[in-house]
Amino acid sequence: MTATKEEFFNPAKLSARDKAAATDHTARSIIAAEASMREKKTERLRLLRLEREAAEASPDPAPKRRKASSSH
């Protein structure tokens, strides 16, 4: 089998509008995927932080004693 130029290159040229639309579509899909991954990561980290804070929650500290007033 011999490779021909038509197999590798599209003989029809795309218009500038078509190229811009393809670029726009690709960029928007990449941005949407990144935003989705960022939201998932944020939610996962938020849950881990809340779990850690719940585990580290200590009982309320004992009330501080007042100093005895000296009446000299």
Residue-wise pLDDT for 41-69, tens only, equals: 999 999 999 999 999 876 566 667 777 66
Locate 50 and state its tokens. 């809340």
Place of tokens 């639309």: 21
Burial 35-71 (b: 16+ CB within 10 A, else e): eeeeeeeeeeeeeeeeeeeeeeeeeeeeeeeeeeeee
Does the pTM of the predicted model rise above 0.85?
no
**Residue 33 phi/psi, 5° resolution?**
-65, -40
- Confidence band, pLDDT 50/70/90 cuts, at residue 34: very high
